[in-house]
């Protein structure tokens, strides 16, 4: 019996082995499932899990880059970045509603924020799982220290660069400004925002299971590039001060001034009034941030006459010495009568420009014709953008020739029916100042990397508009505008100057006709005349009281030019007023000698004509020589000009209403008519000059 039981036990499997195998099978299956899950998580779901882990363990902050500097032409700082403190909160660290209320209350009290609104923002951020919320950015040092001293839960601090303009409002419309997020919102800051901004960096903070930071590392930001402008800080300051004083003096709505180097096209100053401080942009109305120098369209009036005069001379249709009948100040074009500000008879072309005759400008425009006139307008740059490196520039208003009316040539020749910007007008006068070549105006001189390596230098477009001879002829004609024409208040102390005044009526928006009370007064000029170093335009919008360009804008040109020309190293080319005063005093000291010479002169003229008519003396206003002309019952008798200078001859003949045809330079050696001959107003006098050996 025992033997049979032993044999049965050998043939029947042990139950414990079966159980062991069962458990082993379960373990193998479990391990297989785990392995498959691990493979899935490591391969298929890897990216999602890594991102989730980073969100839980790693906190990343973007670090703002330092914006590049803005410098003037002499590397003087116009804009830079400074470090400030900003505060943010990690809502995950605010564990209870009490924490949220406490943080909101304390922060709102220090920074004068709306507590209720701040609580709402914090609760929303907490509920949405956000890890970052700005509380305040770019705080003052005092505010930041007060917040830091409160030791609030979840509140953290970081440094951020802030744009700073050390000169306040200086060149504000050129520089522009930067918004709270660090992006340029105007001027050069906006146009070159990508280059100036640089590349942002990142700060990574590793956190433990309790949320505490235990390690951090940073990818540094890259600073932006430096922009070197053509602006001269000193010239800009003087232009702004003169402009602000003019606006206050004339009670004008606004004003613009531009200083341009005609040879290089570089803008040395661009000023608008009113202006603003880019450090505190919110303190002004948006209108004050508008750049009127390139956004304001106005009818240029008489300053535009350089186009019709240049076109006529360039095409050989007129010469400066030619005479033109101004028809006593009125001309009718297609049923429309246009008048001069004063009745003029026959004038030379040069005199017509100096006296700003509308009739003469219209007659020259008619000679040139509509298509050619339009061609020269576009040649001078009107009707298209200059390409200046600033936002918002307008091309102005210039209709195609096909849309001109029969009377349009009469209007356009005198600066009506066309809209220009001050920048376009300055560039047009730059053509005449630069011997007929237009150089595109520009503001950026160079761009450098943060290490100082130059990556860009300006190379402005140049194109010929008129011949050098035409440009020089216009320069001499425009000089007469300041000597004897409508811009005597633009004459400079120590420097010759040339330019043109403009007085334009504005369109009344209600009646759609020219206003009788609203005007735009302007003056555009350059100095010195023979080798112009600067072109300056001054535009005054809606001055109260005096409104003519010669009365309102020309004095501002003089003030700016007299201050900046010495600063630019330009040598005087005429006598200073103090020297003139000394000459005048010397003339008075020698008055008795001059009187004796004058008596001899009178006697010689009397003998030449063999008459006993009364004589009229004409004294040189500077205390120099005296020229006598003898009156006749019908007109006047030709004085003896032999040995006289060009200026003396010009004055003597002007006093008698005579027109001078001069040849050569120096002193008179020959004249026609002869001394003592009866002459009438408007008669041409031929005079030959020569220099003594």
Residue 212, in any domain of the structure: yes
**CA of residue 623 relative to chain centroid, distance:** 43
CATH number for the domain that contains residue 541: 3.40.710.10
Residues 539 and 592 in one domain: no
In angstroms, the Cα distances linking 507 to 349, 364, 425, 510, 514 are 30, 26, 20, 9, 5
> Rounded to a whole number, what is the largest CA-CA distance in the chain?
189
- The per-residue pLDDT for range 473-532, each reduced to its tens digit, is 999 999 999 999 999 999 999 999 999 999 998 988 888 888 888 999 999 999 999 999
pLDDT above 90 coverage of the chain, percent = 52
Q: What does the block give as tokens for 583?
A: 């000459």
What digits encode the pLDDT tens for the residues 130-143? 777 777 777 777 78
Q: What is the mean pLDDT of residues 49-63?
A: 64
Which pLDDT score, from 0 to 100, does residue 658 have? Answer: 74
Q: What is the pLDDT of residue 471?
A: 97
Same domain, 240 and 205: no
Cis peptide before 673 (omega within 30 of 0): yes
Where does a domain end: 567, 592, 608? 567
Do 557 and 647 sit in the same domain of this protein?
no
In this structure, are 106 and 139 located in the same domain? yes
Per-residue model confidence (pLDDT) at position 62: 65
11 has pLDDT over 60: no
Q: From 537, 567, 597, give the residue that closes a domain.
A: 567
In this structure, are 136 and 255 located in the same domain?
no
Burial classification of residue 536, based on how many CB atoms lie within 10 Å of its CB (0-12 exposed, 13-18 middle, 19 or more buried): buried
Q: Are residues 450 and 507 in the same domain?
A: yes
Of 170-174, 180-184, 529-533, least confident by mean pLDDT is 180-184
Q: Same domain for 539 and 647?
A: no
Write phi, then psi, for 326 (nearest 5 degrees): -90, 5
Closest CA to 358 of 432, 419, 411, 408: 411
Under DSSP, the state recorded for 386 is -
Are 446 and 531 part of one and the same domain?
A: yes
The answer to whether residue 467 scores a pLDDT higher than 60 is yes
The Cα–Cα gap between 410 and 403 comes to 14
Number of domains in the chain: 3
Instruction: Kindly tell me if the per-residue pLDDT of 178 is higher than 60.
Output: yes
Angstrom distance (rounded) from CA 139 to CA 132: 18
- Asked whether residue 489 is assigned to any structural domain, the reply reads yes
pLDDT in tens, 563-598: 999 999 999 988 755 444 444 444 444 344 444 454
Report which of residues 426 and 517 the model is more confident about: 426
Q: Is the pLDDT of residue 191 over 50?
A: yes
Whole-number Å distance between alpha carbons of 16 and 18? 5
Set 81, 254, 302, 522: catalytic member:
302
> Cα separation of 101 and 123, whole Å?
9
pLDDT at 614: 33
CATH of the domain at 116: 3.90.1310.10
Q: Is the pLDDT of residue 181 over 60?
A: yes
Q: How confident is the model at residue 398 (pLDDT cuts 50, 70, 90)?
A: very high
* Residue 406 placed within a domain: yes
Q: State the Cα–Cα distance between residues 299 and 427, nearest whole angstrom.
A: 16
> What number is the average pLDDT over the span 588-611?
46
Query: Quick one: average pLDDT of 140-163?
Result: 79
The residues that bridge with 155 in the sheet, in sequence order, are 89
Which stretch of 176-190, 593-607, 634-648 has the lowest confidence by average pLDDT? 593-607
**Domain end point (choices 545, 567, 589):** 567
Residue 19 domain flag: no
Return the higher-pLDDT residue of 462 and 220: 462
39 phi, psi to nearest 5 deg: -60, -45
- What's the pLDDT band for 609 if we cut at 50, 70, 90? very low
Q: How far is CA 504 from the centre of its chain?
A: 21
User: Which position has the higher pLDDT, 693 or 523?
Assistant: 523
Looking at per-residue confidence, does 610 or 310 come out higher? 310
Same domain, 563 and 659: no
Residue that wins the pLDDT comparison between 617 and 640: 640
> How many percent of the chain have pLDDT more than 70?
82
Radius of gyration of the chain (CA): 40
Residue 218's pLDDT band, with cuts at 50, 70 and 90, is low
Q: Is residue 627 part of a domain?
A: yes
CA–CA gap between residue 690 and residue 693 (Å, rounded): 9
**Do 382 and 478 fall within a single domain?**
yes
Q: Can you give the CATH number for the domain in which 631 is found?
A: 3.30.10.20
Sign of the alpha-carbon dihedral angle for 39, 44, 49, 51: positive
Question: In the prediction, which pLDDT does 371 show?
Answer: 96
Mark whether 448 and 509 lie in a shared domain.
yes
Return mean pLDDT, the chain.
83
CB 503 within 8 A of CB 469: no
pLDDT-derived band at 625 (thresholds 50, 70, 90) equals very low
DSSP secondary structure, 214-280, as one string: EEEEEE--BPPPEEEES--HHHHHHHHHHHHHHHHHHT-SEEEEEEE-TTT-BEEEEEEES---GGG
The overall pTM is greater than 0.75:
no
> How many Å apart are CA 67 and CA 580, to the nearest integer?
53
pLDDT in tens, 157-171: 877 788 999 999 999
State whether 433 and 375 are in the same domain: yes
pLDDT for 209 equals 57
State residue 377's pLDDT score. Answer: 98
Q: What SS3 class is residue 521?
A: strand
Structural domain includes residue 8? no
In a domain, 14, yes or no: no
pLDDT: which is higher, 117 or 406: 406
Is residue 192 one of the residues assigned to a domain?
no
Can you give the residue range of the structural domain that contains 333?
233-567
308 is catalytic: no
């Amino acid at each position: 019996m025992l033997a049979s039981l032993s044999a049965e036990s050998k043939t029947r499997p042990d139950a414990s082995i079966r159980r062991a195998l069962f458990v082993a099978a379960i373990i193998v299956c479990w391990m297989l499932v785990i392995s498959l899950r691990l493979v899935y998580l490591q391969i298929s779901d890897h990216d999602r899990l890594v991102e989730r882990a980073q969100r839980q363990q790693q906190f990343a902050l973007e670090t703002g880059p330092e914006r590049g500097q803005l410098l003037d032409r002499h590397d003087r700082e116009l804009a830079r970045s400074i470090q400030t403190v900003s505060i943010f909160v990690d809502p995950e660290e605010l564990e209870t509603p009490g924490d949220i209320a406490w943080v909101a209350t304390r922060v709102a009290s220090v920074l004068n924020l709306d507590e209720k609104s701040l609580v709402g923002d914090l609760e929303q951020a907490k509920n949405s799982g956000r890890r970052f919320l700005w509380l305040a950015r770019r705080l003052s040092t005092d505010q930041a220290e007060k917040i830091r001293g409160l030791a609030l839960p979840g509140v953290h601090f970081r440094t951020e660069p802030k744009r700073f303009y050390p000169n306040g409002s200086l060149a504000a419309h050129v520089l522009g400004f930067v918004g709270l997020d660090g992006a340029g919102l105007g001027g050069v800051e906006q146009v070159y925002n990508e280059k100036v901004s640089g590349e942002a960096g990142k700060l990574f903070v590793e956190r433990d299971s309790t949320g505490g930071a235990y390690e951090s590392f940073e990818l540094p930001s890259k600073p932006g590039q430096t922009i070197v402008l053509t602006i001269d800080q000193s010239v800009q300051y003087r232009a702004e001060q003169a402009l602000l004083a003019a606006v206050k003096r004339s009670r004008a709505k606004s004003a613009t001034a531009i200083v341009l180097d005609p040879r290089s096209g570089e803008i040395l100053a661009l000023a608008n009034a009113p202006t603003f401080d880019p450090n505190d942009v919110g303190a002004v109305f948006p209108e004050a941030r508008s750049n009127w120098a390139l956004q304001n369209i106005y009818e240029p009036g008489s300053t535009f006459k350089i186009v019709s005069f240049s076109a006529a001379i360039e095409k050989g249709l007129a010469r400066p010495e030619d005479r033109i009948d101004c028809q006593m100040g009125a001309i009718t074009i297609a049923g429309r009568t246009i008048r001069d500000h004063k009745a003029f008879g026959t004038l030379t072309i040069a005199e017509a420009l100096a006296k700003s005759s509308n009739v003469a400008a219209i007659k020259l425009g008619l000679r040139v014709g509509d298509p050619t006139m339009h061609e020269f307008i576009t040649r001078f740059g009107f009707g298209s953008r200059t390409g200046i490196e600033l936002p918002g520039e307008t091309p102005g208003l210039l209709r195609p020739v096909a849309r001109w009316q029969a009377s349009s040539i009469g209007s356009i020749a005198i600066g009506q029916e066309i809209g220009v910007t001050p920048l376009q007008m300055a560039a047009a006068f730059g053509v005449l100042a630069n011997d007929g070549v237009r150089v595109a105006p520009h503001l950026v001189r160079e761009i450098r990397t943060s290490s100082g390596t130059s990556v860009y230098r300006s190379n402005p477009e140049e194109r010929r508009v008129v011949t050098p001879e035409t440009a020089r002829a216009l320069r001499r004609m425009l000089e007469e505008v300041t000597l004897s024409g409508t811009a005597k208040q633009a004459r400079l102390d120590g420097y010759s100057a040339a330019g043109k005044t403009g007085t334009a009526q504005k369109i009344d928006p209600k009646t759609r006709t020219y206003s009788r009370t609203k005007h735009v007064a302007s003056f555009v000029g350059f100095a010195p005349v023979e080798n112009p170093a600067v072109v300056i335009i001054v535009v005054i919008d809606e001055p109260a009281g005096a409104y003519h360009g010669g009365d309102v804008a020309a004095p501002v040109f003089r003030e700016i030019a007299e201050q900046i020309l010495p600063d630019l190293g330009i040598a005087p080319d005429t006598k200073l007023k103090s020297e003139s005063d000394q000459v005048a005093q010397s003339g008075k000291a020698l008055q008795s000698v001059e009187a004796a010479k004058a008596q001899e002169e009178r006697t010689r003229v009397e003998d030449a004509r063999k008459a006993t008519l009364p004589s009229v003396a004409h004294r040189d206003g500077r205390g120099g020589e005296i020229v006598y002309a003898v009156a006749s019952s019908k007109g006047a008798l030709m004085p003896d000009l032999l040995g006289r200078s060009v200026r003396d001859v010009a004055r003597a003949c002007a006093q008698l209403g005579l027109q001078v045809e001069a040849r050569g330079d120096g002193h008179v050696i020959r004249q026609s008519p002869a001394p003592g001959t009866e002459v009438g107003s408007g008669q041409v006098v031929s005079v030959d000059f020569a220099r003594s050996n």
